Structure formats: structure tokens, C-alpha cells
Structure 1
């Protein structure tokens, strides 16, 4: 969609010990303060798939008693869920298992209200981490603190006010579109937490400036959803090619099939693939692998910026040729 961005929001460098999160309603009761203690991720209600009362007559009687409703995967911030994911991936993919043994387990970012996290994601689009942090700090100051970053406040900020703190006119329109969808009831913090992955992806990509990559990063790093595969992320695609010894870089349309064995914990598998790619890149440059001073999401953001720069370097000569053609046409 228009305004698709290939960057993500700046992560909180602190980590969250997985534990039982509060209910989704809690996010409307206690707003997040700038320097508040860690807030646990609100949970989605566990849903079950209703089964028909009709039993398949061809099914052996020994299997009839073992039928149970399918339980939707829980957030990774639930106590023990991350450990379950790691153990499952070790047994389901022998090639991924050595990576799990080599690299540290995922760290979960502190929970922030979805509106704040999505706003931050928009502000950080296509910016270096330092520049994005500077603009975000000024934005928070303009709003009077993180707890005041709510739809009404954002809609009250004019494009001129936002431009003065470094926010482009296009990003200002993205922020206002997000806030309007909240104000109109199309989105809310509670509905975002409660929605299943497919519905959430559909609803968030309706917001101008939020594309598939941004939604995947939000679902993994902000909501701690367990089964998200960022099929458009170049780092993940490169990692899958290296892990499975593929000759060509897999296309996004091929990723689901290639990573089928990671379900229902593709978010956790993606974490290890990112670490794998990071280590390969660091080794080739002689850098220290696994720099603990820089969070993984910041490194992913840097990787995305490098991809954009390479893409622009490829396009510049083509655009130059096209511009020459335009000039020549004008001269005629």
C-alpha cells in the first residue's frame, strides 16, 4: 500500500522476564509513564475452535477420545511460553537447533500501549536510529509525556508544529490517519491486543504509512505474538537461504512453505535467524558478534536502512538516464 515503510520503531533496551500478563482492559486503566516500571503485556483471551458434534464414522475408535479443541498460541510473555517455543523449535528443525544452542534467547521489550508503539514506528520510518530517537524525544516533549500520546492529542498537532520538530508532512499525515482510525472506533488498543494475527494484519495495513513489514515488527516486538514470519524482511530471507543451503534468495511467496516446520513459533525462529545473519555479517567485517549494547531491533533497523541505501544506489543511475531523456525531449 502507499507509504509502505521498511523500518521499525525504536525498541526499549530493557528486557522483560516472561510472566502472566494482566487482562487487556488494564491498558485503559493505567497509562504508561515515561519512566514507569515495566508493564506486562495484556493477554488476548484464549480461543478454541468449535468442533462439530458429528464424529467421522471412518475415524478409528481409539482416536475419537483423543480429539481436543485447538488452542490458539499464547503470547510469548506468558510464563514458560518462550521456553516451550525454544524446546519445540529444537525438536522440529535439526538445522535450526544449533543456532538455538549458539545464540542467546530472545529478550522481550517492555510493553507499551499499541497507539504509542505504532506512533513511534511511524516516526522512526527511514531514519537512522540516532535521528529517529531525537525526533521521538521532541515529539514526546511536544505531547507532554508518553502518557499523553493519545489520538486526540495527536490530531490536535498541526503539520506545522510537527514540521518544527523534524516530522515530514507525509509522516504527519500518517500520524493523523492512525489517530483518526482510533477516534472513529476502527482501531483501539484493546481491539489490537484481542485481534487474531490475520485480522490485525488486515486492519493495521489499512493505516496510511503502515505496511506489512512494519506490522510484522510491531506484532513481534511490541505484542510478542509467537507465530509471525516477516516474509518481506531481507535479513530473514538471507538467513533462510544460508540455513538451508539454497542457491537463490527465496521469494516472499516461498517463505511460508520453507518455514512451515517453525509453526507455531515462527517469531522465535526469526529471532535466531536474525542473530545468525548478524553473526555472519560481523564475522566478515571482523566485528564482535552479539553486541549487548545494541538491541536486536536496532540492528534490524540498521539492516533495513542499508537495504534502502543499496536500492537507492541502484535506482540513481537509472533515474539519471531517465532525467537525461526528459531533458532531451524538452530540448526538442
Structure 2
């Protein structure tokens, strides 16, 4: 059964700008074409196929319900998922006011106006991606993620395309380090991924709990109590998944390279220099980082 739902988006949102970003990050969990993004999601243990595209100044979600499980509750969860994924409910007026007068943000703003912080709604996926990316290049991290998804995820073929559902924390929590190690990552990363899988599986960590914390420092401190989760990983997850606007992975190499590029610097800036540069970004460090990342990724 096919259901169509339309949702609004902010005036400063560009679907094409965000679709171009998604095209550059396809990983088997979703596919794009020239006008839409498509993926499977699971709502209350039931898979739904989503196709999101723009029509008449709205976003349209085509929902394929295979098990006749669609109802008002499901509809609300799907709409919330898409709004969260595309970050449609964040007011960026203040950020744009900051960026248009900022030496380091003017260029990315002019190139990517309308871009949103395309998120990773699944917190386990966000942690896995962050851990895989620790201290290695993006190409190899992407290869490891692909192996991880295809070994432990679920494949669904629809309309002659293969889609993957990201592995659940419960599956990885019960897996052995030796089996994870066969994917090609270090034993230490295997341990970290298993540790966070256990924390999520036993509900010690959840997106909902992190959203209830009072500030970014409390959220970072909570996450860094977990083995293998340092400040960079914590801030990355809070930026990409939980959506703290002031999450700031200040040690990120990509951020350093982007600042060096925009500023025409001879070398990458020091942490103290970045703190000075970012002083005017207060409250919107996550978006400043995301726009700068887009210059190089």
C-alpha cells in the first residue's frame, strides 16, 4: 500500500542542496537519484520504504507499507523521522546572521546556503561511524562501515535496488571481539563498538536521555564515561544525532583543514587559534562545523 504525505520546510531550506550532500554520502542505507532520496526505516519492528522528494514548495514522502501496519501513530513517527533526519525544525536565522559577517563562514555560506545538518537519527549508527573514523582516513572508514553493515545488517531488495538496515546494538552486544576484528578494524575499536552497543542495548545510553540533559558539558561528560568515547566522538554524536547546536568537535582534522583553506593559512590552526576564531559562533558551533566540513567533504 502506497501512502503520500506532505510536510512543510523552512524558507531557508534547499532540498537540492541537501540532496547533493546526500548523493556524496550514499552508503547502502539509502539511495538517491536526480530528484529524491530513498531508504527503508523500521517503525515498531515493521519496515517501511520511504521516498522523499520536493513538489510545489513542500516535501512529499511516499510511504510503502508492506505489512498493512500504517496508522496515525506510525505516520507521526515517520514524519518526525524525516524532519529529524533533514533537521527541518531548527531555526537558523541567528546562525545565518552570524555567518554572513564571519570571515570563516562567509564562503561556505555562499556556496551551501540552504544546507541542513543532515543527521544520523540512529544513535548506535552515529557512534559506530564516529568510532570507525577515529584516526584513519575517510576512505578506509567508509570501507569498514560498508563491511560492518553487510555482515551484520539486514538487506532488503526493492525495485531492483538493495537497501540495508543498520545493525542493531543488541546484535553487536552479543558478538565476539574476534568476529568483529575480522572486518579489519583494530581490536581496540572492536572493544569500543561492543562497549557502546552494550550501553545502548541495556538503555544506559539513549538519544532521549541525552536530550534531557541540561547542557553540552553534561552531555559530553556523560558520554566520555564510556570506554572508547573521548571528547571528539562525544561531540560528533551530539552534533550529528542528538543535535546539540553547541556541539563542537574542536579536535577534528577536517575542521582544521577547512579553516586552513578558508583562511588561506600556511598551516593548520592550533586549538587556541580555533577557539578564538569560533568565539563568534557561540550557540551554533555545530552548524559552523558542518558548513566548513562541506567545503572538503
* Shared fold (TM-score, shorter chain, > 0.5): yes
Q: Distance in 2 between matches of 1:269 and 1:12?
A: 23
Q: Distance in 1 between matches of 2:205 and 2:193?
A: 14
Does 1:159 find its partner at 2:177?
A: yes
**Structure (1/2) with the larger strand percentage:** 2
User: Which residue in the other structure is 2:55 paired with?
Assistant: none
C-alpha deviations, 1:2-59, integer Å up to 9, x for none? xxxxxxxx955779xxxxxxxxxxx9954696965576677xxxxxxxxxxxxxxxxx
What is the Cα deviation at residue 158 of structure 1? Answer: 1.0
What is the Cα deviation at residue 232 of structure 1? Answer: 1.6
Cα contact 1:205–1:215 (8 A) shared by 2: yes
Does 1:187 find its partner at 2:197?
A: no
Q: Distance in 1 between matches of 2:261 and 2:151?
A: 45
Cα contact 2:245–2:286 (8 A) shared by 1: yes
TM-score (norm. length: structure 1) = 0.53
Cα root mean square deviation, aligned = 4.1
User: Which residue in the other structure is 2:112 paired with?
Assistant: 104
Q: Distance in 2 between matches of 1:35 and 1:128?
A: 32
Cα contact 2:210–2:242 (8 A) shared by 1: no
**Structure (1/2) with the larger helix percentage:** 1
Cα contact 2:260–2:267 (8 A) shared by 1: yes
Q: Distance in 1 between matches of 2:204 and 2:247?
A: 23
Does 1:230 find its partner at 2:249?
A: yes
Change in 2 beyond 3 A, CA 1:143/1:228 = same
Cα contact 2:200–2:206 (8 A) shared by 1: yes
Q: Distance in 2 between matches of 1:273 and 1:218?
A: 17
User: Which residue in the other structure is 1:204 paired with?
Assistant: 223
TM-score (norm. length: structure 2) = 0.59
Unaligned runs of 5+ in 2: 1-23, 32-40, 53-77, 155-163
Change in 2 beyond 3 A, CA 1:12/1:99 = same
Unaligned runs of 5+ in 1: 1-9, 16-26, 43-73, 279-295, 297-332
User: Which residue in the other structure is 2:95 paired with?
Assistant: 85
User: Which residue in the other structure is 2:65 paired with?
Assistant: none
Q: Distance in 1 between matches of 2:217 and 2:42?
A: 24
User: Which residue in the other structure is 2:124 paired with?
Assistant: 115
Cα contact 1:241–1:248 (8 A) shared by 2: yes
Q: Which has the higher contact order (CA 8 A, sep 6+)?
A: 1
Which of 178, 189, 213 is matched with 2:196 structurally?
178
Structure with the greater alpha carbon radius of gyration: 1
Matched position secondary structure for 2:92: helix
Cα contact 2:223–2:229 (8 A) shared by 1: yes
